[in-house]
Amino acid sequence: MAEWTLEEYYLISVKNLFFKFEILKLFMKNYFYFFFAFFFSVQIFSQNLKISNGEITIPINTELKITVQKINNKLSDFKLINESKIEKPINMIDALANITKKDIVSDEIEFKFSNADLMGSKIIILTTVQHLKSPITFKAKIKIKGGTKYYETSIVKKIPNVFSVEQWRDDIESVFLYDFKIAEN
């Protein structure tokens, strides 16, 4: 059996300690990347459709249909009928050329919030078709991609069974719709 001098023993101990420190450093580095990836994925997946108390938050590239209840000229009790993801930008020329008016009276409202292409220009659109008996109004706020705050934007009155389009050039990640009312004539 070999005998070690005190210097050799300390040298081996320091090398073992250094090796353990390198393993710990590698683990912490990977842990940091895992934590960062997890946090980032939570941020991405938190951009989901939210419907509550007469308010709707719609993430970009989402199509949905809801039903509403009219109570004292206010619209409330929103229920989701259908939601789908829009996979590619909407060609606005084709969309406008293929509009067919349906004279339907129901408690349904259809929204599409998507990237769009208008003769080569990239825009963000919100299309609305509502099937109530009367025109409606609502307010909207937009959230710019990467931002944390919503900014108020203008929305026109929505006439029954008419294809309505709002458009923006900003890179918007979601729109918040609220204060839905029956419009006064």
User: Per-domain residue ranges for the chain?
Assistant: 1-46, 50-182
Q: What mean pLDDT value characterizes the chain?
A: 84
Q: In this predicted structure, which of 27-31, 64-68, 96-100 has the lowest mean pLDDT?
A: 27-31
User: Counting Cβ atoms within 10 Å, is residue 35 exposed (0-12), middle (13-18) or buried (19+)?
Assistant: exposed
At residue 137, the pLDDT reads 96
List of residues 6+ apart from 2 with CB closer than 8 A: none
At residue 37, the pLDDT reads 54
Mean of the pLDDT values across residues 144-160? 94
Res 46 pLDDT > 50: no
Q: Categorize the per-residue pLDDT at 27 as very low, low, confident or very high, splitting at 50, 70 and 90.
A: low
pLDDT (tens digit, 9 = 90+) per residue, 51-88? 888 899 999 999 999 999 999 999 999 999 999 999 99
At residue 44, φ and ψ (nearest 5 deg) are -65, -50
At residue 97, the pLDDT reads 84
Res 111 pLDDT > 70: yes
Read off the DSSP letter of residue 1.
Answer: -
Q: In this predicted structure, which of 57-71, 99-113, 115-129, 139-153 has the lowest mean pLDDT?
A: 99-113
At residue 43, the pLDDT reads 43
- Give the integer Cα–Cα distance in Å for 92 and 75: 29
For residues 145 and 118, is the Cβ–Cβ distance under 8 A?
A: no
At residue 30, the pLDDT reads 63
